[in-house]
Amino acid sequence: GVIANESDPKRREAWERVRDERQQQIETADVYINSIDDSLIRQLVIYRYKHGLKWQEIATRMGSDYTEDGLRKRLERFLKKF
């Protein structure tokens, strides 16, 4: 369905404003993610928060050297530094 009624300029403008704000948030997040020096942490952030994968799925993608608990704990330690 159509989110904004094109015959209602106020609704369309409001929808466009929300869309633009959301796009800016995504771009800001991408800049931050790409600035993470640790490539493993960067990949975990992308898989978990950008793609919404479960820890089991992430561990499978990362390979047999990693467990879901180990990856989760590693990211938690990184995030606690903030």
Q: How far is the C-alpha of 40 from the C-alpha of 74, rounded, in Å?
A: 9
**pLDDT tens-digit map of 21-80:** 999 999 999 999 999 999 999 999 999 999 999 999 999 999 999 999 999 999 999 999
Q: Which residues contact 29 (CB under 8 A, 6 or more apart)?
A: 50
Total-model pTM: 0.76
pLDDT at position 56, please? 96
Q: Could you give the dihedral angle defined by the CA atoms of residues 26, 32, 37 and 38, in that order, rounded to the nearest 10 degrees?
A: -50
1, 14, 18, 61 from 7: Cα distances, Å: 15, 13, 18, 47
